[in-house]
């Protein structure tokens, strides 16, 4: 059996990437190996910190990575705190680097490292009233992002995937056939298939009624919201795509869904959002739909990434999902 790769196996690749970006590393520290392999680099001459990412093979082609960087560059130019890229010595945003993966290489990219802590690490599982101002600020942050989305002239050659009807509930959805997951028994599969049919009909209604659709972060859970000084920003645009703006909002709210004070948390979030971007009249109905779709999407994610989701045993999430589906089907 081949040796399981760990982050230490990528040390040589990280050094090669640093060289390709013209960075002399005083320190090259492994940080994480989840979706991508990430190192923190301290530049020897200036002390500047950078995040060096070796992007997972088979997920994004080079043109989609470059498109991500085009958008985050535009957001940074507008003053938002997002990953700010550095070009390689050859002028490109990304360079291929030999790695021990089966495919033999990964694309490497470098961004400035923002010091701070995530909103998840700040508030944890607490959702008491003292945390609600954070959700107000988070709503304003996503509202600002979506305002930029609707005003930005997308450059020629820009390519990202779509979480439209096909991307969420098609054959197959972008994240996989959640209704046919190996994590489910036959009864659960039938229940999720019913949820898929219910959601599909409502997505067509939303589309017909003009629900707002555009570029979204698509992964704005609290671990991807960074607090740095008095600023709030977004990191990890790896999943950014075209999608419904309300879906983006639901990713940010999802970890609070089911909490006794969820309505207050949601209302603080929406009040912040509305300071930056108008809300549609049916936003509460949109949120109900996309909160459930986020839960369905996570079924596929848990199956694809058992190394990350190993501590999320089915008995911890399936009862709530079943209850939420049954409530939706009865509505």
Q: What's the 3-state SS for 217-256? A: CCCCCHHHEEEECCEEEECCCCCCEEEEHHHHHHHHHHHH
Identify the band that residue 308 occupies on the pLDDT scale cut at 50, 70 and 90: low
- Three-state DSSP at 264 gives helix
Cβ proximity of 234 and 224 under 8 Å: yes
Q: What is the mean pLDDT of residues 297-315?
A: 79
Q: Any idea which of 141-150, 247-256, 306-315 has the lowest mean pLDDT?
A: 306-315
Q: Any idea which of 81-90, 256-265, 307-316 has the lowest mean pLDDT?
A: 307-316
Q: What is the mean pLDDT of residues 288-309?
A: 88
Flag whether pLDDT at 196 surpasses 80. yes
Cβ proximity of 226 and 116 under 8 Å: yes
What's the confidence (pLDDT) of residue 331? Answer: 86
- Three-state DSSP at 214 gives strand
Flag whether pLDDT at 159 surpasses 70. yes
Cβ proximity of 198 and 328 under 8 Å: yes
Residue 122: HSE in the Cβ half-sphere, 13 Å Cα cutoff: 19
Identify the band that residue 1 occupies on the pLDDT scale cut at 50, 70 and 90: very low
**Domains identified in the chain and CATH numbers:** 7-112 (3.30.200.20), 117-330 (3.90.1200.10)
Instruction: Look at the chain and count its residues.
Output: 331
Mean pLDDT of the chain: 94
Identify the band that residue 84 occupies on the pLDDT scale cut at 50, 70 and 90: very high
Flag whether pLDDT at 248 surpasses 60. yes
Burial class (CB in 10 A: 0-12, 13-18, 19+), 73: middle
How far apart are alpha carbons 303 and 31 in whole angstroms?
A: 24
* DSSP state, residue 31: E
Provide, rounded to the nearest whole percent, the portion of the chain with pLDDT above 90.
89
Flag whether pLDDT at 42 surpasses 90. yes
Flag whether pLDDT at 3 surpasses 80. no
Q: What is the mean pLDDT of residues 247-261?
A: 97
How far apart are alpha carbons 61 and 76 in whole angstroms?
A: 23
What's the confidence (pLDDT) of residue 277? Answer: 97
Flag whether pLDDT at 223 surpasses 80. yes
Cβ proximity of 202 and 246 under 8 Å: no
Strands (E), the chain: 25-33, 37-43, 49-54, 85-86, 94-98, 105-112, 117-118, 162-163, 213-216, 225-228, 231-234, 241-244
Q: What is the mean pLDDT of residues 20-41?
A: 94
What's the confidence (pLDDT) of residue 2? Answer: 59
Q: Any idea which of 47-51, 118-122, 311-315 has the lowest mean pLDDT?
A: 311-315
Q: Which of 108, 112, 110, 113 is nearest to 12 (CA)?
A: 108
Flag whether pLDDT at 170 surpasses 90. yes
How far apart are alpha carbons 81 and 232 in whole angstroms?
A: 7
Cβ burial 221-254 (10 Å sphere, 16+ → b, else e): bbebbbbeeeebbbbbbbbbbbbbbbbbbbbbbb
What's the confidence (pLDDT) of residue 34? Answer: 81
What's the confidence (pLDDT) of residue 313? Answer: 79
Q: Any idea which of 25-39, 129-143, 287-301 has the lowest mean pLDDT?
A: 25-39
Residue 228: HSE in the Cβ half-sphere, 13 Å Cα cutoff: 14
What's the confidence (pLDDT) of residue 303? Answer: 87
How far apart are alpha carbons 112 and 22 in whole angstroms?
A: 14
Q: What is the mean pLDDT of residues 112-126?
A: 94
* pTM across the whole model: 0.94
Flag whether pLDDT at 130 surpasses 60. yes
């Amino acid at each position: 059996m081949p040796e399981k790769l760990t982050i230490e196996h990528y040390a040589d690749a990280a050094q090669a990437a640093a060289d390709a970006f013209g960075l002399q590393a005083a320190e090259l520290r492994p940080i994480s190996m989840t979706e991508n392999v990430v190192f923190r680099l301290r530049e020897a001459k200036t002390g500047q910190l950078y995040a060096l990412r070796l992007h997972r093979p088979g997920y994004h082609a080079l043109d989609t990575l470059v498109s991500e960087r085009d958008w985050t560059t535009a957001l940074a130019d507008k003053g938002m705190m997002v990953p700010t890229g550095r070009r390689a010595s050859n002028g490109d945003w990304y360079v291929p680097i030999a790695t021990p993966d089966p495919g033999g290489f990964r694309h490497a990219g470098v961004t400035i490292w923002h010091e701070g802590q995530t909103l998840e690490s700040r508030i944890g599982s607490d959702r008491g009233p003292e945390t609600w101002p954070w959700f107000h600020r988070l709503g304003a942050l996503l509202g600002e992002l979506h305002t930029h989305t609707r005003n930005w002239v997308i450059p020629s050659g820009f390519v990202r995937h779509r979480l439209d009807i096909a991307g969420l509930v098609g054959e197959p959805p972008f994240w996989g056939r959640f209704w046919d997951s190996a994590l489910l028994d036959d009864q659960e599969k039938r229940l999720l298939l019913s949820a898929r049919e219910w959601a599909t009909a409502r997505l067509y209604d939303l589309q017909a009624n003009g629900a707002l659709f555009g570029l979204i972060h698509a992964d704005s859970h609290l671990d991807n919201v960074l607090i740095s000084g008095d600023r709030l920003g977004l990191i990890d645009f790896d999943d950014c795509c075209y999608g419904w703006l309300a879906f983006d909002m639901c990713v940010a709210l999802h970890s609070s869904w089911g909490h006794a004070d969820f309505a207050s948390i949601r209302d603080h979030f929406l009040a912040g959002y509305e300071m930056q971007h108008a809300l549609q009249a049916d936003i509460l109905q949109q949120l109900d739909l996309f909160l459930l779709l986020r839960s369905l999407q996570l079924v596929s994610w848990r199956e694809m990434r058992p190394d990350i989701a190993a501590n999320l045993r089915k008995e911890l999430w399936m009862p709530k999902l079943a209850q939420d589906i049954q409530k939706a089907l009865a509505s």
